[in-house]
Amino acid sequence: AQSVTQLDSQVPVFEEAPVELRCNYSSSVSVYLFWYVQYPNQGLQLLLKYLSGSTLVKGINGFEAEFNKSQTSFHLRKPSVHISDTAEYFCAVSGDTGAGSYQLTFGKGTKLSVIP
């Protein structure tokens, strides 16, 4: 079974300050990790992904995340946030759960509010 924990449901941060959104996962199989962003009244958009290779992955809009296998974490970071980054961010894990199925398991989401 897979699970994802996003410890912070809401994160307020001032504009141009750095931000880190935390994500921890558990899985009994090799994992693939994702961050999705959801702007108000929109669908989920892929922000970045870890499939293999370098543990530091860069995504759109200046975000990056680091896969840490020993700590089972995949925290999302941005060195300087902008008002337009205000959105809800979802961490997700995927892996072969059997019969070739690759389901995504989502965390509860973290609402990032950027304060002018």
Partner 1 sequence: DAGVIQSPRHEVTEMGQEVTLRCKPISGHNSLFWYRQTMMRGLELLIYFNNNVPIDDSGMPEDRFSAKMPNASFSTLKIQPSEPRDSAVYFCASSPRDPGSAKNIQYFGAGTRLSVL
Length of the chain: 116
Asked whether position 1 contacts partner 1 by CB under 8 A, the answer is no
**Residue 93 CB: number of other CB atoms within 10 A?**
25
Question: Which stretch in 15-23, 39-47, 59-67, 72-80 sits in contact with partner 1 by CB under 8 A?
Answer: 39-47
Q: How far is the CB of 35 from partner 1 (least distance, A)?
A: 12
Question: Which stretch in 37-45, 54-62, 65-73, 76-84 sits in contact with partner 1 by CB under 8 A?
Answer: 37-45
* Whether the Cβ atoms of residue 89 and residue 47 lie closer than 8 Å to each other: yes
- For 8-52, give the DSSP string: -SEEEEETTS-EEE--EEE-SS--EEEEEEE-TTS-EEEEEEE-S
Q: In the window 44-103, what residues touch partner 1 (CB under 8 A)?
A: 44-46, 49, 51-52, 90, 94-95, 99-103
Site string for partner 1, 2-31 (x = CB under 8 A): ------------------------------
The continuous run of DSSP H or E covering 65 comes out as: strand 64-68
Dihedral class, residue 98 (left if φ above 0, else alpha if ψ from -120 to 50, else beta): left
Q: Using CB under 8 A as the criterion, which residues of the chain lie in contact with partner 1 when the complex forms?
A: 32, 34, 36, 42-46, 49, 51-52, 90, 94-95, 99-104, 106-109
